[in-house]
Structure 1
């Protein structure tokens, strides 16, 4: 190496090392934001309200900034997780099955609410003449989003089991996009009946947001597995374990736990596994939705 080359080599190496250190620091800082999303099964304002205290809680447990990232539809919730644009996603059972299929099995269900082990849907109406699923023939009926487990897939599955084919027997099949929108459509007379997530219905009743003297449940489905919090299989095992423990540690006997569990409509969170959603996968294939 010439004297001229030697003179410039050290400054160039130092500059390169500094640039590498800066890039590493910037990357580390970007990784300090943990992003959470959820299927848009309710209004954006309600989803944000439910997420706020959970986000704050997870920040304390994970030791990093946590942000809630809303998505426009169910498909977007799947894509954002498998493309690593978010780290944690609240899925319905069917959305989880879709995410598993899209990712080649690289999505892991972490925890579910205790209620999700025996979840149910309800069919509601404002028409006193509608008393059974068979009475829906020739009627306008609303589901929620097409990818909704409790607002479409499982209600459709139980209709088919009862000998009612929505595509052939209903006068019109509507998709409201969300459970609260389905309730509004039934209450407003836009459709004669609708299928709704039981916990959203019970919340509407408890909050007196629906007049049960006019709109009522005429059929409740058998139980099935539903919602879960899912992550990518690429998430480091240590972070995955810390995240699961954060949910499992939520306790309704503490003010923080009571608020979060109440908003999540959960008694508590319990571990879950992919096998729990085989029934939903079978229902989706049977209904031609997967």
Structure 2
């Protein structure tokens, strides 16, 4: 075969390759994003709006944020291809990764998430240690929350306090801000939530720390991350990662986004970082 005879075959190969890439581009015209509902839906959308606009510019595609009804819906949405990227807590990431057979990839996390913490709060003068929670009414956040349930339960059990048998009653508020409202309103004697939401509520004067006070803070653990499926177009995945890592607090845009995300900066992360979360979930018999 002459070199001229080979030319149509080469053209066909090139055309096929272009068609494949074109198909990928057509299929990924919209990035569908969500987050675990650990705060009110309006607050989650407010926090995401500038980030969404930034990602649209970096990716060259539309970015849509869709609130979900509960933590389980965020897991199922990503696994079942209804969502492309989700803001997970450490526990929801583990749930999604286990449910998918290891096909969920954590891209980035805030630097703060390498040593995240939970706080225990109360209005009662009689509660000053974890041991004082025995016989009391107590609320966690969501059942699938890392910082509002799993890790607080883990540290309670480590202190020889079984919430299911040692407390008078336990409840699940569904969200961190709802936990504070329940404690402040006297519906429960105490509750637990993540330190980031607690600090935000105090700073915005939505809670009076003289009335609702922190009496215990957990040690640090890995928590939140932005996750995608392993089958995401690798070009899009790299652009997403680069976009998060490029956020710069010295620019007006970067400053606004990072402040809303309560982050100093985003850093790369990996599934191995969440092995301790998985172990804690299995020890507490919370991983199904």
Q: TM-score, normalised by structure 2?
A: 0.91
Q: Which residue of 1 aligns with 2:16?
A: none
**Do residues 287 (structure 1) and 251 (structure 2) align?**
no
The answer on 1:86 being equivalent to 2:83 is yes
CA distance in 1, matches of 2:68, 2:160: 35
In the alignment of these two chains, the number of paired residues is 268
Residue 280 and residue 25 in structure 1: after superposition, are their counterparts in 2 closer, same or farther (change >3 A)?
closer
Q: Secondary structure at the match of 2:282?
A: helix
Among 117, 121, 124, which residue is 1:127 paired with? 124
Q: How does 1:53-202 map to 2 (within 5 A)?
A: 53-202=50-199
Q: Which moved more, 1:230-239 or 1:144-153?
A: 230-239
Structure 2 unmatched runs, 5+:
1-18
Tell whether 2:256 aligns with 1:256: no
List runs of 5+ in structure 1 lacking aligned partners.
1-20
Q: In the aligned structure 2, how far is the partner of 1:252 from the partner of 1:128?
A: 41
In 1: Cα distance, 2:206 partner to 2:59 partner? 36
> 4+ residue runs of structure 1 moved beyond 6 angstroms?
24-27
In the TM superposition, what is the alpha-carbon distance from 1:37 to its structure 2 partner?
0.5
Which of 40, 44, 48 is equivalent to 1:47?
A: 44
How far is 1:29 from its partner?
Answer: 4.9
Deviation, 1:28, is 5.6
Please state whether the residue corresponding to 1:85 is helix, strand or coil. Answer: coil
1:27 Cα deviation from its structure 2 partner: 8.9
Aligned to 1:12: none
In structure 2, C-alpha distance between the alignment counterparts of 1:122 and 1:209, rounded to whole Å: 17
Shift of 1:236: 1.7
Provide the rounded CA distance (Å) in 2 between the counterparts of 1:163 and 1:173.
16
Task: From 203, 219, 222, give the equivalent of 1:222.
Answer: 219
Alpha-carbon separation, structure 2, partners of 1:207 and 1:278: 34
CA deviations on 1:51-91 (whole Å, 9 max, x unpaired) are: 10111000000000110011100000001101111111000
Paired with 2:22 and 2:100, the residues of 1 have a C-alpha distance of: 30
| Structure 1 CA distance for aligned equivalents of residues 22 and 240 of structure 2 | 24
* Distance of 2:240 and 2:74 partners within structure 1: 19
CA drift of 1:31 comes to 2.8
**Over residues 113-165 of structure 1, what are the superposed CA-to-partner deviations in whole Å (9 max), with x where a residue is unaligned?**
00000000000000011000000000000000000000000000000000000
**Within 5 Å, which residues of 2 pair with 1:239-254?**
239-254=236-251
Structure 1 residue matching 2:207: 3-state secondary structure: coil
Structure with the greater alpha carbon radius of gyration: 1
Paired residues of 2:247 and 2:266 also in contact (CA < 8 A): yes
